[in-house]
């Protein structure tokens, strides 16, 4: 242990300063060091210029590395929540950690806090140390009450998890096993892609995984094969829906076409069952399907249910028309992934097979392109809906090369002419099923206060944000006590303006009680 000697301290300072500049590389291991201990070490080795006067002072000697301030009480590996990089902890690469441990050792009873570097982002990749691991609950199919908790990196594969479970429950290597997601008491989904990572598989904090062992007679306790489940990513193709069958499914769409465009304003009142059935099954009601809550995902489920019950959009996906219009090259799009994932989910919901489905695969895709939705915190439903509509539009945009458009002023032309021109310009760059159904035009009028010139523009929109109406009145409970002691006090509920005054209260009370408003009231 290097406790003194200017040369030793200079070496420590130089080595760690160099290693702190190490670039993050996917798969590398980094270690957490409590900031309080690290600040004490910096003083001891004179890391910063203002600490030089304390360099080598035994009064500031940091002692063994102590990370207890980062850990929950009674748990040697569970970090406290909401820790912040450089404020609560410092990240060191493996070489830097090994050097510090060789110089100062680690506090007795503590274990190193090692974390992997993972890659994030879809288009622009960046590496990040995964400080908080995903906690999974593991159990055997034969005894689901015996649950063991383990933490894994998002970069760990399903195969890695299965090997860990086999080790925990002492399952022989020659024993054949299968791994399942357990969502509810009787809802299971097979995890049959061993190379998939936790992030790709969409496993979330607290997810229960069940390992199943093959019986001695070659059968499986949960059945001969892995049946398709509501959350499975593969499913049988649905029969095509003929246009004629839709006449009995929802009311005709009345549309008002705008000059030579695909734009229409749909108006409909109901969306009934699609007219199809599957061999060997009784007809169930397609579309009447719930969505499992994956953990604070009710905001996402609400948006999906709204779009699922938008007849023209759902018909478009169920009939596979979207496949002809997928735009894989749109730089503003998501390579068709959002559209394909949404189509898969809609087909599950409208298959008539399930009373509910698990939108895990869809949420995983959303999280890849919009990291703000990647966790399991509560989010704003309208923000998710806006992202989804924009994503579907760009993935399905029929325009492969967007031209440059020179906008023109209205210059006193009729609104009809200006609106048609604005819409045609919009369609030259934006043309998709989302535009057909959801897009419209705002009319904005601006009057110059100096020359009184009127400027009119028509701007496209996809969704409207409207403020909630505010109540302008409030109710108050008032007891009217008369001067005559023989008259009992009376209770009244009066409605007054929110920003009213005593005169308003007197007038409201007078109207109910019959006491003239000019009489003297005293309020307590």
Render pLDDT for 341-361 as a digit per residue (tens, 0 to 9). Answer: 999 999 999 988 888 888 888
Strand (E) or helix (H) holding 308:
helix 298-308
Residues with Cβ within 8 Å of residue 326, at least 6 apart in sequence: 336, 339, 340, 395, 396
Strand (E) or helix (H) holding 47:
none
In CATH terms, the fold of domain 134-213 is Ubiquitin-like (UB roll) (3.10.20)
Nearest to 395 by CA among 344, 335, 438: 335
pLDDT of residue 237: 36
Q: What percent of the chain has pLDDT over 90?
A: 29
Q: Does residue 480 contact residue 513 with C-beta atoms inside 8 Å?
A: yes
pLDDT of residue 283: 52
Going by pLDDT thresholds of 50, 70 and 90, the confidence category of residue 184 is low
For the segment 461-477, the average pLDDT, to the nearest whole number, is 83
Question: In degrees to the nearest 10, what's the CA dihedral of 422, 424, 430, 435?
Answer: 90
Residue 493, both tokens: 């509920």
pLDDT tops 50 at residue 280: no
For the segment 161-172, the average pLDDT, to the nearest whole number, is 92
Q: Does residue 3 or residue 38 have the better pLDDT? A: 38
Q: Which residue has the tokens 């989010």?
A: 379
pLDDT of residue 234: 36
pLDDT tops 70 at residue 272: no
Using the CB atoms, write b or e for 462-483: b if 16+ within 10 Å. beeeeeeeeeeeeeeebeeeee
Report the C-alpha gap between 300 and 377 in whole angstroms: 11
Render pLDDT for 25-80 as a digit per residue (tens, 0 to 9). Answer: 988 999 999 999 999 999 888 888 777 777 878 888 999 999 999 998 766 678 88
Which ranges of 23-78 would DSSP assign to H, the alpha helix?
35-45
Residue 296 CB neighbour total at 10 angstroms: 13
pLDDT of residue 233: 39
For the segment 442-453, the average pLDDT, to the nearest whole number, is 88
Render pLDDT for 110-157 as a digit per residue (tens, 0 to 9). Answer: 999 999 898 876 556 778 898 988 889 999 988 888 999 998 988 889
Q: Is 72 exposed, middle or buried (0-12, 13-18, 19+ CB in 10 A)?
A: exposed
The β-bridge partners of 80 are: none
Residues with Cβ within 8 Å of residue 391, at least 6 apart in sequence: 333, 334, 338, 339, 369
Q: Give the CATH number of domain 6-129; options: 3.30.2230.10, 1.10.10.10, 3.90.950.10, 3.40.50.300.
A: 3.30.2230.10
pLDDT of residue 106: 92
Residue 201 CB neighbour total at 10 angstroms: 21
Nearest to 443 by CA among 464, 460, 462, 421: 460
pLDDT of residue 37: 95
For the segment 474-499, the average pLDDT, to the nearest whole number, is 85
* Phi then psi dihedrals of residue 188, to 5 deg: -130, 150
For domain 228-466, give the CATH number: 3.90.70.10
Report the predicted TM-score, pTM, of the whole model to 2 decimal places. Answer: 0.51
Query: What is the 8-class DSSP label of residue 448?
Result: -
Residues with Cβ within 8 Å of residue 296, at least 6 apart in sequence: 376, 377, 378, 379
Residue 207, both tokens: 């997810």
Nearest to 8 by CA among 35, 46, 40, 63: 46
pLDDT of residue 138: 93
Q: Is 295 exposed, middle or buried (0-12, 13-18, 19+ CB in 10 A)?
A: middle
Residue 292, both tokens: 């499992």
Mean of all residue pLDDT scores within the chain: 80
Report the C-alpha gap between 107 and 124 in whole angstroms: 40
pLDDT tops 90 at residue 500: no
Q: Does residue 274 contact residue 249 with C-beta atoms inside 8 Å?
A: yes
Residue 201, both tokens: 């598989």
Nearest to 273 by CA among 306, 247, 304: 247
Render pLDDT for 377-396 as a digit per residue (tens, 0 to 9). Answer: 778 898 899 999 999 999 99
Report the C-alpha gap between 274 and 272 in whole angstroms: 7
Using the CB atoms, write b or e for 32-52: b if 16+ within 10 Å. bbbbbbbbebbbbbbbeeebe
Q: Does residue 238 or residue 465 have the better pLDDT? A: 465
Going by pLDDT thresholds of 50, 70 and 90, the confidence category of residue 7 is very low
Flag the least confident range among 168-177, 179-188, 284-293. Answer: 179-188
Domain ranges (residues) in the chain: 6-129, 134-213, 228-466, 473-513
pLDDT of residue 483: 81
Q: Does residue 320 or residue 76 have the better pLDDT? A: 320
For the segment 361-380, the average pLDDT, to the nearest whole number, is 81
Nearest to 490 by CA among 518, 524, 513: 513
Nearest to 502 by CA among 474, 480, 522: 522
Residue 127 CB neighbour total at 10 angstroms: 16
């Amino acid at each position: 242990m290097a406790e003194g000697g200017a040369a030793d301290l200079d070496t420590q300072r130089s080595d760690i300063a160099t290693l702190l500049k190490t670039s993050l590389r996917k798969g590398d291991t980094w270690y957490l060091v409590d900031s309080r201990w690290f600040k004490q070490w910096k003083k001891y080795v004179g890391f910063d210029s203002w600490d030089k006067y304390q360099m080598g002072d035994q009064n500031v000697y940091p002692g063994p590395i102590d990370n207890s301030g980062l850990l929950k009480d009674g748990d040697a590996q569970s970090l406290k929540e909401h820790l912040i990089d450089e404020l609560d902890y410092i990240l060191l690469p493996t070489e830097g950690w090994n050097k510090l441990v060789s110089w100062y050792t680690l506090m007795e009873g503590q274990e190193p806090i090692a974390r992997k570097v993972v890659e994030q982002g879809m288009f622009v990749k960046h590496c990040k140390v995964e400080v908080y691991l995903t906690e999974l609950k593991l159990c055997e199919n034969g005894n689901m009450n015996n649950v063991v908790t383990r933490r894994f990196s998002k970069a760990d594969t399903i195969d890695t998890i299965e090997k860990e479970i086999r080790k925990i429950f002492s399952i022989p290597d020659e024993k054949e096993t299968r791994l399942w997601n357990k969502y509810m008491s009787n809802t299971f989904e097979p995890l049959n892609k061993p190379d998939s990572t936790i992030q790709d598989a969409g496993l979330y904090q607290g997810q229960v995984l069940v390992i199943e062992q093959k019986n001695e007679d070659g059968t499986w306790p949960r059945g001969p094969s892995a049946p398709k489940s509501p959350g499975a990513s593969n499913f049988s193709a649905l029969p095509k829906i003929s246009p004629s069958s839709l006449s009995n499914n929802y009311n005709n769409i009345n549309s008002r076409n705008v000059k030579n465009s695909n734009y229409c304003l749909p108006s409909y009142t109901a969306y009934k069952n699609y007219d199809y059935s599957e061999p060997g099954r009784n007809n169930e009601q397609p579309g009447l399907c719930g969505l499992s809550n994956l953990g604070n995902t009710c905001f996402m489920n609400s948006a999906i249910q709204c779009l699922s019950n938008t007849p023209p959009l759902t018909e478009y996906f169920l009939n596979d028309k979207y496949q002809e219009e997928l735009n894989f090259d749109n730089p503003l799009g998501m390579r068709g992934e959002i559209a394909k994932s949404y189509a898969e989910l809609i087909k599950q919901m409208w298959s008539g097979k399930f009373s509910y489905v698990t939108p895990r695969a869809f949420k995983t895709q959303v999280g890849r392109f919009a990291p703000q939705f990647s966790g399991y915190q509560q989010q704003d439903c309208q923000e998710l809906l806006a992202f989804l509509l924009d994503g579907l539009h760009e993935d399905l945009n029929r325009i492969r090369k967007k031209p440059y458009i020179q906008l023109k002023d209205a210059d006193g032309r009729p609104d009809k002419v200006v609106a048609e021109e604005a819409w045609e310009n919009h369609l030259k760059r934006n043309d998709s099923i989302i535009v057909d159904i959801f897009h419209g035009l705002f009319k904005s009028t601006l009057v110059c206060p100096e020359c009184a010139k009127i400027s009119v523009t028509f701007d496209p929109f996809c969704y409207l944000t409207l403020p909630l109406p505010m109540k302008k009145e409030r109710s108050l409970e008032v007891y009217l006590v008369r001067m005559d002691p023989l008259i009992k006090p009376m209770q009244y509920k009066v409605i007054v303006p929110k920003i009213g005054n005593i005169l308003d209260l007197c007038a409201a009370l007078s109207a109910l009680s019959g006491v003239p408003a000019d009489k003297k009231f005293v309020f307590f």
